[in-house]
Amino acid sequence: MKAFDTALVSRVCLLELANGGRVELPAARWAGPPGAGDELLLSRCTGPTLDIGCGPGRLTAELIARGVRALGVDVSRTAVRLTRERGGLALRRDVFERVPGEGRWQHVLLADGNIGIGGDPVKLLRRVARLLAPDGRALVELEPPGQHVRRDHVRVNGGAWIPWAWLGVDALDEIARASGFHVAWQGVHGQRHFTELAR
């Protein structure tokens, strides 16, 4: 994760795909204040919220500033440090390991493509289900229409290869059902697409 740490500090995040493709990720947006698209997620977080893959903490810190209990988790030491510097709470943690408050979170955030963590959206959402309270909701950012589920190995700025996935709007119902969820809400802001999943 050292390459990702460097990307967070430099705000230059180049994602390389195993198939040879390259995508520049919006690291500068992650480091900035929450935008109008983020507000679609933030406004739905009315209770304790776990921000998975919190990055530099713009969502975690904003929720705390609004008086919402929130915790960010990220495998990057730099992400955790930056989140804390912004006034957020964060732990260096792999979401598939033990996480504080398991089974009691009202909301879980998977913003900025973090539904791809681990390379298997169904496995990740089933893990999210165990983190949520019985009436909790998952808030997920999706790829635009015209895309289904895509899996690959990726690396950031020449770092280690890791499995990753992309979940498109067109595959949402299928993946939600396979994970034990149903779609409760969908929203769009510009090119960003969001959903709220309930059990």
Residue 55 lies in a domain: yes
Residue 116 to residue 51: CA distance in whole angstroms: 14
- Look up the CATH number of the domain holding residue 64: 3.40.50.150
Residue 169 lies in a domain: yes
Say if CB 57 and CB 82 are below 8 A apart: yes
130 within some domain: yes
Count of domains for the chain: 1
84 φ, ψ to 5°? -65, -40
Q: Tell me which of 109 and 9 has the higher pLDDT.
A: 109
* Other beta carbons within 10 Å of 47: 15
Render pLDDT for 136-145 as a digit per residue (tens, 0 to 9).
Answer: 999 999 999 9
The two tokens of residue 151 are 């899996």
Kindly state whether residue 167 falls inside one of the protein's structural domains: yes
Q: Is the pLDDT of residue 3 over 80?
A: no
Q: What pLDDT digit, counting tens, does each position of 22-48 carry?
A: 988 888 899 899 999 999 999 999 999
Q: What is the pLDDT of residue 1?
A: 58
Q: Is residue 21 part of a domain?
A: no
Residue 57 lies in a domain: yes
E strands within the chain? 13-17, 22-25, 49-52, 70-74, 90-92, 105-110, 132-142, 149-156, 162-167, 182-189, 192-198
pTM of the predicted structure, to 2 decimals: 0.95
Q: Are 163 and 113 in contact (CB under 8 A)?
A: no
* Domain hosting residue 51, numbered range: 34-151+159-198
pLDDT by residue (tens digit) across 83-125?
999 999 999 999 999 999 999 999 999 999 999 999 999 999 9
49 within domain boundaries:
yes
What is the helix (H) or strand (E) element at residue 39, kind and residue range?
helix 36-42
Residue 135, classed as helix, strand or coil, is strand
Report yes or no on 3 lying in a domain. Answer: no
